Amino acid sequence: MIYKTIGTDRVSAIGFGTGYHRPENSDCSTLERSIQGAVDWGVNFIDTAPVYGDGASEEALGEILKNLDRDNMFLASKISPEDTTYSGVIKSVEDSLVRLQVDTIDLCQIHWPSATVPVEETTRALEQLILDGKIRYIGVSNFQLHEVQNTMNALQSNSLMTIQSEYNFFERSLEKNVLPFCKENAIMLIAYSPLAQGKLVNGKNQRNILDKLAEKYNASPAQIALRWLIADPNVMVIPNTSKPSRAIENATAADIHLSPEDIDYLSENLKTPRDLVDTKEVRPSNDYSRKVYQTIEEALENKMRMSPSPLELSEEMKRGNFLKPIRLKELPETISGKNYDLVEGRLRYWAWVIAYGWDKPIPALIWKTRS
């Protein structure tokens, strides 16, 4: 295993993400075997959040931690946008500690920026929790660069230790400014969805490139993807899986020794360019296990209480702030005038339409289905 440093802690570069583990009952044996398999191969970093299964992920992890060496584990959780007030942060962490059955959370991250609560209020609570010994380090997740900078300026006695963001061969937007910022400020980037929901790369041509290198190193394509990411000194990854064999496969990716030439080759050839797409050609689809508004009226009403709301996010966009491109998938054939399914970025899509109307093309990354 490769280890990196967060604060004074030695943390595995490949962690274990629990974002999609939502046990419906108390039987967490498969998840426990997956985590134990990863731990056996050197993983000591587990990431969770209250929102995952409405607390079920933390509860399951709390039971599993009883059978692990807690002193050698690095545990990360989060604060949801609706809990970023001073009292909300305190209660959120205390509730997480109960579910996790621990005294301290090593890394507490603001899960999403709040559109209504000043970040100074949130950081003030987090710093108090450090004084109280309930958390040790502070991080952010899904923050734009200016929001990261505002958070750093708001901290009085502590440093911002981590930024968590999506990063994989398909989504590389953060290489423009967030990753360089991490390097300049000794911040660790935690890459979630490092395997792009199992797709790894975009299209058959890119997959052929990845497959050939996997064959060269006697590894799986997923292992090559993980090893490419953690080759950067400031990057860690938190893949998630419910399969014990896959957890071990992920962990042992650290043992692959990619040559600098092959790292550069992957960097240059596995990119997806940003396109500008007519918003009217996009079909907001609920085919991807995500709730989505179907009309602009639904988005404005925000009955699902998404946070930030599409309207709040549209105000950010009008100020020139845009988190990252939406993700689209080519439809095999045009359906009712639509050429793309909206796979990821449902809030950003409607915020863009609210901010700019239907005639301004939206930045997008497009999954290829034909090449």
The count of residues in the chain is 371
Peptide bond into 308 cis (omega under 30): yes
Cα distances from 300 to residues 131, 351, 353, 369, in angstroms, run 41, 9, 11, 32
Residue 356 CB neighbours (<10 A): 15
CB under 8 A, 24+ apart: contacts of 196-199 = 196/168, 196/169, 196/170, 196/171, 199/170, 199/367
Cα dihedral 94/98/101/104 (nearest 10): 0
258: alpha, beta or left, given left = phi > 0 and alpha = psi -120 to 50?
beta
Residue 164 CB neighbours (<10 A): 26
Ordered by where they begin, the domains of the chain are 3-269 (3.20.20.100), 275-367 (3.90.1530.10)
223 phi/psi in degrees, rounded to 5 = -65, -40
Q: Which of 344, 355, 345, 364 is nearest to 281 (CA)?
A: 364
Please give the Cα distance from 318 to 351 (Å, whole number): 10
Please give the Cα distance from 293 to 303 (Å, whole number): 9
Please give the Cα distance from 47 to 19 (Å, whole number): 8
In sequence order, the β-bridge partners of residue 326 are 364
In sequence order, the β-bridge partners of residue 14 are 237
DSSP annotation of 203 reads S
Please give the Cα distance from 206 to 201 (Å, whole number): 6
Whether 167 sits among the annotated catalytic residues: the reply is: no
Residue 360 CB neighbours (<10 A): 12
DSSP 106-155: EEEEE-S--SSS-HHHHHHHHHHHHHTTSEEEEEEES--HHHHHHHHHH-
Residue 259 CB neighbours (<10 A): 11
Structure confidence at residue 22 (pLDDT): 52
Give 10-residue mean pLDDT values along the chain (371 residues): 96 90 61 92 95 86 90 94 94 96 97 90 98 98 92 96 95 93 97 92 92 97 98 96 92 96 96 92 75 88 84 86 83 81 89 94 85 56
DSSP annotation of 369 reads S
Which residue of the set 52, 137, 192, 293 is catalytic?
52
Structure confidence at residue 74 (pLDDT): 97
Question: Is 252:290 a contact under the CB 8 Å cutoff?
Answer: no
Place of tokens 């040790």: 136
Please give the Cα distance from 338 to 355 (Å, whole number): 21
Please give the Cα distance from 91 to 152 (Å, whole number): 23
Task: State the number of CA atoms in the 13 A half-sphere of 259 facing the CB.
Answer: 7
